[in-house]
Amino acid sequence: MSTARAERLVNLVLALLSTRQFLTAERIRGIVPGYADAATDEAFSRMFERDKTELRELGIPLETGRNSVFDPIEGYRIARRDYELGEIELAPDEATAVALAARLWDSPELTGQAHGALVKLRAAGVEVDEHAAPVVEPRVHTEPAFAPLLAAVQRGQVVRFDYRRSDSPERRVRTLEPWGVVSWRARWYVVGHDRDRDAPRCFRLSRITGEVRTVGKPGVVSRPPDVNLLEFVAGTSTRQEPAPTTRARLWLARGRAAGIRRHARIVGSLTVGDAEGDVVEVDLHYPESAADWIAGHGPDVLVLEPDVLAKAVRDRLERVVLGAGA
């Protein structure tokens, strides 16, 4: 299968999973990246029929139906209850391998197209399921510190890096005997023995600034056999980060962005350009991941405060534009 077709199929699955509505073939053609390459209606029809057959052969359950009795044309969707796997039990080493493979598979091109598909869904008035667990996560990126820390763990070598705590802009140098790198709640952490505190600690990779430097010779660090890295990170994060909130002020286009409105409070009204809208406040527990959520609503949402969130959303929208123009 060609790369272009594989990306188109992923975008199609993402679009059909992200809505409870039935989408007609013509609507799918305008929303899903890849179908615009079809020069004629017949070419699109053949392409779409091949893709439907491919998905069904892969075991992906396509549903057909109408959103109401007044719809003249049938549409398509994927029922999440039929798509998702049941609970799978993996041994610790198997789970580690699967987690690494899933997160190291990361395509910037796919990220832009997948975000573009969701932006187009919302722009077309399709209500996207905000609460469904993600099935394809191309937005998950490893941090720059990931590779050198993983290499240090494999070599058993001490590392040193500058670290910024969540409650302070100050950066402090940490010297760590790394035991492992794990992912928890879509964030990467390194766990090990902190020589400065003489105690086990974990550090979020996104707060490591600058270069990760190795100290001393390889082979001097070994992971204690009784330490469960994931349980340590989960317990430490719960104690150290009791769900801090950031209050954001947003502009929402009038009658749009229903997913955000469900969690927000209207505090005023504002006209941006020629568009009327509401000023709302929303409390965000995870501002970093909230930038993806907000950017997915495209031009219907504008971040007024804080500036760091506004910049994060702009960066994501620029990536979508660049990906669509590539």
Minimum mean pLDDT range among 40-49, 145-154, 240-249: 240-249
What is the Cα Rg of the chain in Å?
23
Over residues 185-204, the mean pLDDT reads 88
91-105: per-residue pLDDT in tens? 555 555 555 555 444
Over residues 217-246, the mean pLDDT reads 72
Q: Please, are residues 206 and 187 in contact by the beta-carbon 8 Å criterion?
A: yes
166-177: per-residue pLDDT in tens? 666 678 899 999
Q: What is the mean pLDDT of the chain?
A: 77
So what's the pLDDT on residue 93?
Answer: 52
Over residues 15-38, the mean pLDDT reads 84
Is residue 266 within a helix (H) or strand (E), and if so which, with residue range? strand 265-272
Over residues 251-270, the mean pLDDT reads 88
Q: Give the integer Cα–Cα distance in Å for 247 and 245.
A: 6
Residue carrying structure tokens 């490591």: 208
Q: Please, are residues 208 and 161 in contact by the beta-carbon 8 Å criterion?
A: yes
Strands (E), 3-129: 62-65, 75-78
Who's near 130: CB < 8 A, 6+ residues apart?
A: 259, 262, 293
pTM of the model: 0.38
pLDDT band at 206 (very low <50, low <70, confident <90, very high): confident
Who's near 97: CB < 8 A, 6+ residues apart?
A: none
Alpha carbon of 129 to those of 2, 43, 120, 132: distances in Å?
30, 31, 14, 6
Q: Does a cis peptide bond (omega within 30 degrees of 0) precede residue 306?
A: yes
**Is the pLDDT score of 286 beyond 70?**
no
Minimum mean pLDDT range among 10-24, 32-46, 69-83, 127-141: 127-141
40-77: per-residue pLDDT in tens? 989 899 999 988 888 877 777 788 888 887 778 888 88
pLDDT band at 84 (very low <50, low <70, confident <90, very high): low
CA-based nearest residue to 223, from 181, 175, 162, 185: 181
